[in-house]
Structure 1
């Protein structure tokens, strides 16, 4: 009798615990949804009015940003293109390097060496972005300045940036996204079942063929997730970029001083007022929309691939 009562009491306690945890999970999920909705509504409420006051065409496609001039101009096309081109080039350069590093750590390196390299990569992920910017300003910018002087020594039309230009920004961003993409790619590669690798090797494939034709395709969804997070960090970075890119609203070119959408907000928010301040919120709304579009597109692609694999 006592044993039965103990079992029943244990079942009731277990059921109560499960219900409590389920309630906590539901609350956390609802909180996340509410947070996204509140941010979305606030960004639209704060940013949309200025767009229509300035004019959507003049705001998005204008090429001159002069909010404090006698005749204010609020064109953000140079900042939009700089953010898109800069992020695109960062991903184009950074993802192959990150993927090769992940393959090295997870499949090629000796366990002892991998045990040294992996913590070092994780340490890079924890370094504040402003530190990357400071190191870039002290070490990288002077070297880029020398390269710029060498390439444009006979070009009187070129405006020298002293090394604070888009190229410096791309290099710093590339270094910054590496830890995120590498760590997630390592986890994804290690999650691939050993049976895949063993079957490939048993069929006569070499180790490199197995890695690039079996393991990487099998880990593709996880690697893409790492790339998405890398894109988010690259397009949303401000402090490091403002120190090395020159922060001038020019059209994107490797040796032009440029201003990203994020740095445009950071550099002027402290003294902006009136329509100028509202326009900065509108820049934030544009940035928010870009990030949402990128996430929606990539998530849609991943879901379609998952559905195709299930079939």
Structure 2
């Protein structure tokens, strides 16, 4: 009787897990379908040349989304240049170098920062970071793409640090011991043995961290100036810009349903979705290749 009960319980748990997995896939497909359903009509409402032009001014039926795409790319690239090296190096310090008592303090603090609401970070950006950068860099305004990159980098760093540190901790101790037995120094062991062995986890951490920056809305709305200006040079990093997420958030509540403006906003959301999906696919393929390479080396 007990064996039969355990068998039924195991079957129910298995079915529940399968249902959860299929539900997740179904939800993603439904979101994709809805974005396509509401976004594709923009290609018929607005000529393709106008849609990918350089001016966004919906009041005059100007729906050029190129400044919005470039604004998002600039902020995301800037955030990645800040978050990736700083986050990975911090994770290496916590996992490999810091004394145990210090690591036990730093790790919870980093994870606490990961839960900081983005609106609070944006508020601090307006009050502190923006005026500071304006005065130090002698800029007309501190609400720039660079300010957004700094704050988005701050949002991504805790995620990168936490997951990368876990990946480094999961590297077998025998790897390090074998390296030390050959007379290799600690730093050489870290860069030549530990980090390559944890590469898949570190790539996953970077992907998840940058995923937060790509989809972040409130912070960039508050600190980037929210101006849909076409970036013309490197100095655009120190000028106000507007991202795709900020455009959707600031205009979707006031747009008429079914209008060209409405469909273009959904088309922007579709681009964001496809961009995020592409990043995940690329990183997944890289991780798979690294896993196969590691298996070949170990075999």
Q: TM-score, normalised by structure 2?
A: 0.94
Q: Which residue of 2 aligns with 1:220?
A: 199
What CA distance in whole angstroms lies between the structure 2 residues aligned with 1:57 and 1:12?
66
Structure 2, gaps ≥5 residues long: none
Structure 1 position 182, deviation (Å) = 0.4
Q: Which residue of 1 aligns with 2:29?
A: 37
Per-residue CA distance 1:159-213 (angstroms, 9 max, x = gap): x3x2001010000001110110000001000000000011011111111111111
What CA distance in whole angstroms lies between the structure 2 residues aligned with 1:87 and 1:167?
10
Which of 275, 279, 283 is the aligned partner of 2:268? 283
Structure 1 or 2, whichever has the larger Rg, is 1
Per-residue CA distance 1:103-145 (angstroms, 9 max, x = gap): 1111111111111111110110111111110001110000111
For the pair 1:200 / 2:179, whether they are aligned, the reply is: yes
Structure 1 position 243, deviation (Å) = 0.7
Give the length in aligned residue pairs: 290
Q: Which residue of 1 aligns with 2:89?
A: 100
Structure 1, gaps ≥5 residues long: 1-8, 153-159
Q: Which residue of 2 aligns with 1:15?
A: 7
Per-residue CA distance 1:49-88 (angstroms, 9 max, x = gap): 01332123321x210001012xx11001011112112212
Structure 1 position 266, deviation (Å) = 0.9
Q: Which residue of 2 aligns with 1:175?
A: 154
Q: Which residue of 2 aligns with 1:6?
A: none
What CA distance in whole angstroms lies between the structure 1 residues aligned with 2:43 and 2:210?
26
Q: Which residue of 2 aligns with 1:262?
A: 245
Q: How does 1:223-234 map to 2 (within 5 A)?
A: 223-234=202-213
SS of match in other structure, 1:94? helix
Q: How does 1:101-120 map to 2 (within 5 A)?
A: 101-120=90-109
RMSD: 1.2
SS of match in other structure, 1:254? helix
Structure 1 position 227, deviation (Å) = 0.6
What CA distance in whole angstroms lies between the structure 2 residues aligned with 1:89 and 1:116?
29
What CA distance in whole angstroms lies between the structure 2 residues aligned with 1:184 and 1:55?
44
Runs of at least 4 residues off by over 3 Å: none
Which of 295, 299, 306 is the aligned partner of 2:280? 295
What CA distance in whole angstroms lies between the structure 2 residues aligned with 1:280 and 1:299?
29
